[in-house]
Amino acid sequence: MRFNAKDLALLAKRPSGCFDKEGKLKICRVVGDEKLIEPRERWCRLKGNLLFLMKNKSSEASEVVILERCWVVEFRSKTDVSIILKFQSGEPDLYLEAASKPDCEAWAVALGEANSEGLRNKIQQLQRLIMEIKEERAADEARQFLPSSQVDSLREPQFTSIQRIANEPKLEFSLACKGLVAATRDRKLNTFIQVSVVHPAEHILTRYSSTEIVEGTRDPLFLTGVTFPPEYPIYEETKIKLTVYDVKDKSQGTVRTSVLPDHKEPRADVGRSFLGYTTFTVGDLVKSKEQQLTLTLRTSDGGKTVGTIEVNLVKMGEFEDGEMGHITTDAQDQKFLCFLPLKSCSCGFLSATCAHNTENLERMTDRRAKEECALVHECTAPEGLSGKDNLPSLNAVLKNPICKLYRFPTSDNKWMRIREQMAETTLSFHVPKELINLHIKEDMRRNQELKDLGELAPHWDNMRKSVIAHCDQMLSMYQDTLAELGKHTGSSFKSSCSKGEKTLEFIPINLHLQRMHVHSPRLKDALYDVITVGAPAAHFQGFKNGGLRKLLSKFEAERRNTGYQCIYYSPENTAKAKEVLSNINHLQPLISSHADLLLNSASQHSPDSLKNSLKMLSEKTELFVHAFKDQLVRSALLALYTARPGCVLKKPAVPRNSAEEGDDLKHQDHPSQIKRQDSIPHHSEYDEEEWDRVWANVGKSLNCVIAMVDRLLEKDNSSKIKEGESDPSAADCKVLHAGGDWYEQLYPLVITLKDCMGEVVTRAKQSMAFVLLQELACGLPQCLMLTLRRDIVFSQALAGLVCGFIIKLHTSLHDQGFLQQLHTVGLLVQYEGLLSTYSEEAGMLEDMAVGISDLQKVMFKVIEAKSEDFLPIITGRREHYVIEVQLPAKMFELLPQEIKEGKLLRMYPVLFNVGINEQQTLAERFGDTTLQENINQENLELLKEYYNLFTEKMPPDCLPHFQEQNDLKGLLENLHQNIQAKRRKNVEIMWLAATICRKLNGVRFTCCKSAKDRTSMSVTLEQCSILRDEHQLHKDFFIRALDCMRREGCRIENVLKNVKCRKYAFNMIQLMAFPKYYRPPEGTYGKADT
């Protein structure tokens, strides 16, 4: 390129107002990461694509930098004020350092827009702006002359919609190129296609997605397709642009495939070169005879042909023909990496930190040939998955779906199609808000019960005041958190960057449904679901002192040594006290209601209604009486009495046994014989048998009511027999008179029953509240802080569980075997953990283990929805929760009778953890892995317990894909051996646990710190392993399929949603410690804030 030196010198000396930007910068040349000389201060002037470097403002230009075929690298840290100019020609980079961060950002923008491409972008933006202004003017002029109806139609142009099945993607197509022309004859092309969309109403080009990179061929066949979700505004008039690029350096990063404005896109010349482009409308593809288009690729000026591109419309359920030879050619022309068998290799990876010898690998390979796992969940009723009936309930739970399409060859040279889907869920916020609301109500009741304890001795009274003060502070914190969550708007998930925010600490991290829908030639459609979520942990509170597992153990040990200040009650007793209080609050209003119904039946003289009311009253009262058959209530009453001012104890002369009390219950016939007891005395002698008499009075009162009803019904029957042939009018008068007699005779007995029950409730509530007072007083403030931490962790775990249960229920409504298993045995919920046992992640693992274990307290109940609100309803307390899942009427009718009648469904959560990162290497070499070993061993026992329960209660034919040579018992034994072996990073533990879970119709979870990077590696590996083992994925395409899903699949979109960057947060040193198949493809990882 030639320049006139004199003209450049004159241009450099022009007045300041003539330049695009000027100022002082420190400048030097850089090779690699090393500066050739120390940066020197220069006065810099930018004019167009010329950057003049001068010693000072008045001197002549010492150097001119031409800003073409280069790009700007800006460092995003808050403190860095430097940028680098990189040149495609290979000359040394130019390092520029500004005086401040704003100045640095201004220079980065100015330099980035200085070259000819930046000028073209400005011209395009101005052209779009002119077009928009013209359209607005034309529309304004038209409105002045058109009727209102035509004005409305002009405001909203009518386009031809694409008719698709409900909840299915609007449009899907696959791509392939042939005869691509390289710049040089010997150049081996590494190509990908970028897909852009031009909406007919806006005329703005939006980059939508891209394919994977196919290496070393001029006839690339792309496995990654293009899919448009149901809500995407695409019409027959929509234009689609396909641009083919040749990738020169994959390490520069992947192509952005999210829908973002053009100015947010990476520069087009970074590590790739333009080959050609073509366009077509959606209507051309949809209406084509063979639903296939063959288009010519042309250069940017439209003159030269550089190859052809084939676009094939895809419909799940139909197969492509005529491409079998293309697969073979493609496989022969391209090089593929060999891979080790995944399902049997105990440590199938080679790295600097862990490598097994070849004999071990060969042994594992041989064993895999004998052990084929069956993981298929067949879509036995596709209409149940995509029908209109279940759309409202699913749409209430799942939001913002992302869909990817692939086509992979099978071992017999057939195509199978895979649709990968990922969706966030509204339950991420709904469940925590419901749970916090329950915590607030429960804590308010507890605080009131503490206040209602009555007069206490000074020591105990001061203790109560301190406890109530702390509890009020905690209650206020819960209320503030709920108020902040109520203000939340926007997306339905918490990003990994927000895991340390206090206002969001109850929200699960990055909770998503990951689904793979497989349609293969010879098998039924199959769905594979995994719930991905960050490990439930209290990130805001931190892990300096460990997690819940350690903190709870330490707290319990310290609480035993509280001395004279308070009375120690074991965790079992405090849990029993909470259960008694819960039963009281639940049963007392029910008994009162049934007693009123009994009196109402008596006033109406209705024998049948009287019998039914009495039956319900008896059942609830017996449950009420049984709730107090515990020594804890008696001992707590005595402890409470000793806490009263001036108490005196009195030993009973003759102890009474339960048999005598039973005789009293049977022979007591009238309430006048029952001695009413006063409330617990303060300054009088306390009789330890007093509680037994008060408690027994409820049963005696009930017996009196039963006896009176029997007597009334017997008299009524005998009077009907005697007066059967009497005057009807006289009989009616007697009936009315008898009705009044029934009510009058039953009323005093019912009032006595209520009074006795009220007395029992008062005493029991006070005694149990005193037990809770001791629990709180013994550990202030640690007790409340541990409760808060446990609530936070449990809230995150519960949100994921509710999502997993609802999705599993919807996909299995037509599976009668699963539904029988659900109400007979319960649901297995298997968590796969990828946390290390080193530093903070050890604390996260301790939190996660307790949170998942607490899910055993959760029961599910399926009810029929009475409105359009299908979100689940949560009831209960901290020791026992019931989740009511609402289904539309048509779906509810598909359930077994037991579930429709409200049977509670049990959950069996298990956790298996294997750390895989570089921190786990440190833990294995220099730290401690006992925590992981103990967790895996404990949960293996829980898994065996569920398996034994399953085999006892379920017939063998209910087990899907049961194979004699590889049954569940053998898999469990294999899992047991791997856990006992204590090998480093033994990821086979996770594979075996996942296999067992799917065989037992369980729900799968995969977790790491933020469910973003390690989780993505695990989920994609599991999906490709299933395709290989269950759907005959061609062995030469395993690695390529894995790279496709990691480079262009849903998981890289998940990374983008979380950190606004399409880079997995790994570096090369970290990946050296990862198992081989957990490493992302080149160009997809690097520095990213997480």
Q: Which residues are catalytic?
A: 1008
For the chain, give me the number of helices (H) and strands (E)?
31, 29
Distance CA 443, CA 448 (A): 9
Q: Any idea which residue has 């694509």 for tokens?
A: 49
Distance CA 331, CA 214 (A): 11
List, in sequence order, every beta strand (DSSP E) within 937-1045: 1003-1007
Q: Among candidates 176, 177, 233, which has minimal Cα distance to 208?
A: 233
Q: What are 49's two structure tokens?
A: 């694509």
Distance CA 508, CA 1055 (A): 16
Measured between its terminal Cα atoms, the distance across the chain in Å is: 45
List, in sequence order, every beta strand (DSSP E) within 612-682: 648-650
Check: CB of residue 273 under 8 Å from CB of residue 246. Answer: yes
Tell me the three state secondary structure of residue 906.
Answer: strand
Q: How far is CA 60 from CA 37, 654, 709, in A?
A: 22, 115, 115
Distance CA 1071, CA 386 (A): 40
Distance CA 166, CA 581 (A): 49
Distance CA 210, CA 229 (A): 15
Provide the b/e sequence for 1007-1020 (b: ≥16 CB within 10 Å): bbbbbbbbbbbbbb
Q: Any idea which residue has 């998981």 for tokens?
A: 1051
Check: CB of residue 415 under 8 Å from CB of residue 319. Answer: yes
DSSP class of 221: B
492-495-497 Cα angle (round to 5): 155
251 residue type, one letter? S
Torsion of CA 745, 747, 750, 751, to 10 degrees: -130
Handedness of CA 92, 98, 103, 104 (dihedral sign): positive
Q: What are 267's two structure tokens?
A: 């520069």
Half-sphere exposure of 384 (CA within 13 A, CB side): 20
Check: CB of residue 84 under 8 Å from CB of residue 99. Answer: no
SS (H, E, C) 434-458: HHHHHHHHHHHHHHHHHHCCCCCCH
* Peptide bond between residue 233 and the one before it cis (omega within 30 degrees of 0): no
143: which residues sit within 8 A by CB, 6+ positions away?
151, 154
Handedness of CA 1076, 1077, 1083, 1088 (dihedral sign): negative
Polymer length in residues for the chain: 1090
Q: What are 164's two structure tokens?
A: 């698709």
Half-sphere exposure of 834 (CA within 13 A, CB side): 26
DSSP class of 389: T
Q: What are 1064's two structure tokens?
A: 């997995």
445-590-574 Cα angle (round to 5): 40
980-985-988 Cα angle (round to 5): 65
| Rg of the chain, C-alpha, whole Å | 37
